[in-house]
Amino acid sequence: MHPGQGQDWLDTQVLSENGFTVVTGASYEGLFGMLLAGRFDFFPRGLHEPFVELKQRQKQMPDLAIEETLALHYPYPDYFWVRKDNKRLAERVRKGLEAAIADGSFEKLFQSEYAEVIRLAHLDKRRIFAIPNPAYGDIPHPGDQRYWLMGWK
């Protein structure tokens, strides 16, 4: 089975380095048409993406569907970037995030933003295939549920 991805996306590298033969497209929107035309078998999406994408396209692409029994998982961290010489700001961001995690406000904000898509995904009913992300050597706090969505484990 062949996934489809954007030609310059990090996901393309992750999937390729895990043995998938990835079919790439030059445009995000074009990938949906390529999927429906059978140019590849599936279009892996982030947990929060497919429900909105399907809703936006269901009239013009009625054959587009979300697979309901499988999921692919690999770590894909988001980072705050600051200028290299601004160590004070970097430390303030780190301390602020750590404080928000410690007092539960980060989880509350995360849930207010993502609880519905997590519920819609039915992760507890899916067979989840976990693969490594070779782009990240030392991911901070691996396995710590305060930093990663891992409620399906």
Q: How many residues does the chain have?
A: 153
Q: In which band, very low, low, confident or very high, does the pLDDT at 35 lie, cut at 50, 70 and 90?
A: very high
The distance from CA 62 to its chain's CA centroid, rounded to whole angstroms, is 24
Q: Taking 90 as the threshold, does the pLDDT of residue 146 lie above it?
A: no
- CA dist 78 → 81, 140, 148 (Å): 10, 11, 10
Span of 74-78, 81-85, 110-114 with lowest mean pLDDT? 74-78
Residue 97: which of 114, 115, 83, 77 has the closest Cα? 77
| Domain segments of the chain as ranges | 4-130
Residue 147: which of 73, 76, 92, 82 has the closest Cα? 76
Q: Taking 80 as the threshold, does the pLDDT of residue 25 lie above it?
A: yes
Q: Taking 60 as the threshold, does the pLDDT of residue 152 lie above it?
A: no
So what's the pLDDT on residue 77? 80
SS3 135: coil
Q: Taking 70 as the threshold, does the pLDDT of residue 151 lie above it?
A: no
* DSSP letter assigned to residue 68: S
What is the C-alpha to C-alpha distance for residues 114 and 92, in angstroms, rounded to an integer? 25
So what's the pLDDT on residue 78? 80
Mean pLDDT on 95-113: 94
Predicted structure pTM score = 0.83
How much of the chain is helix, strand and coil, in % rounded to 5?
Answer: 40, 10, 50
